[in-house]
Amino acid sequence: MDFQRVIHSCTFSVGPYNKNEIMRTTIRQKNLSITPSLRSYIEKKIILPVRKLFEEVSAADFPILDLEFARTTRHHRKGKVYYAEATLTIGKTVLRAEVDDEDIRAACDILHDALAREILRFKGRTTAQNRRVARQAKKERYASEARLYRKGRIREEGS
């Protein structure tokens, strides 16, 4: 058995599992040891901002954040050897972001930006859909009283 080819893998969860929990988080590591300082950096940079974005989520859409940090190779010393991946599951929707970089902390920073972009795109899509439905309901309700056009409301004159 070649000991250099054995992959070191470890998984641990952040936060207690209780009913008041906002989000479940799992951190996985491969060929890399996550030190307490790196773990606190990950919590400060990725986990806490994501929790703040999902404070007002219904119980049915319980978000699950899976983070994976790895060193892609043990042989190479230079180049993009660190890998960071985030998978956020909200109900049936899955948001993913993955990053390769030379430093694990820089990979965390880039992963934070990519994940925030995906979350804002997801939230914007649902907000736009809700507004579209409300606009359509308004048009159907007030169709006989007022005609709604693109440049404003045109009133009926001569009564």
Q: Which residues of 49-76 are buried (b: 16+ CB within 10 A; e: fewer)?
A: ebbebbeeeeeeeebebbbbbbbeeeee
Q: Tell me the one-letter amino acid at 138.
A: K
102's tokens = 């030379």
**What residue segments make up the domains of the chain, in order of their start?**
3-144
Could you tell me the CATH superfamily of domain 3-144? Ribosome hibernation promotion factor-like (3.30.160.100)
pLDDT, tens digit, 9 for 90 and up, residues 90-113: 888 899 999 998 888 999 999 999
Is the pLDDT at 135 greater than 70, yes or no?
yes
According to the model, what pLDDT value does residue 139 have?
77
State pTM to two decimals.
Answer: 0.67
